[in-house]
Amino acid sequence: MQKRSASAIYNIGHKANADAGSLTETRSQPGTKAKLSLSAMECVGTVSKTGLGSYEIVVKGDEVWAKLDANLTKAVERMAGPGASLPSGAWLHGTTSHGLLKGLASYCHTEQFTKPDTASAKLTKGAVTKVDGQPVVPVSLSGGEGANVTYYVATTGKPRLIRQESTSKSVPTLAYSSFGSPVGAEEPSGKIVPAPKD
């Protein structure tokens, strides 16, 4: 692995993640935190938006269920305008064509399994290091004003991308785990109501 080019390592890492079929992605960036279990057709987890609230999300195929906490419910009602009302504590149900649900499901990057990313810019390879005890080789992308994104690809076992670290506010830091574990997306229990019309 260490003898390959930085771009090749980047491509291999993303393809290995796609080949796993499923994984858990933990996201952190200013204003947003999320932990989602993903496959090409499924997504289950939670998303938290600083100052707005949080929600649980389940995606199975083109169906979406989302349960907003009280704070986020109020924030969405405010954005929707006078008279808007969402049921508190219920799962909103609809499809990925629904405006609100599409937006809530936007953190479920299931396309990474069917169209894994490939390097399109010059990357720099670093020396082998460790992430959580796992030997990895880092490849980095430098942007303007000191922004930097580093991708850590395992050098032992499957050559998976296990972490993406970013110093840019617009690019999240991501950690990947539970490769190949079933996502198990199913219609949630509890009260389910149709999402309000767009």
Domain segments of the chain as ranges:
6-194
Q: Write the CATH number of the domain with boundaries 6-194.
A: 2.50.20.20
Q: To the nearest whole percent, how much of the chain has pLDDT over 90?
A: 79
Residue 71, number of CB atoms within 10 A of its CB: 13
Give yes or no for a contact between 31 and 25, defined as CB atoms under 8 angstroms apart: no
Q: What is the mean pLDDT of residues 133-156?
A: 89
**What pTM does this model have?**
0.92
Amino acid at 22: S
Most confident of 88-92, 119-123, 179-183: 179-183
- Give the pairing type, strands 192-194 and 91-95: parallel
Q: Which two tokens stand for residue 54?
A: 């949080």
Give yes or no for a contact between 53 and 33, defined as CB atoms under 8 angstroms apart: no
First to last CA, the chain: 49
For residue range 93-116, list pLDDT tens digits in order. Answer: 999 999 999 999 999 999 999 999
- In the predicted model, is pLDDT for residue 144 greater than 70? no
Task: Indicate the burial class of 87 (C-beta count within 10 angstroms; 0-12, 13-18, 19 or more).
Answer: middle
Q: How far apart are CA 123 and CA 142, in angstroms?
A: 8
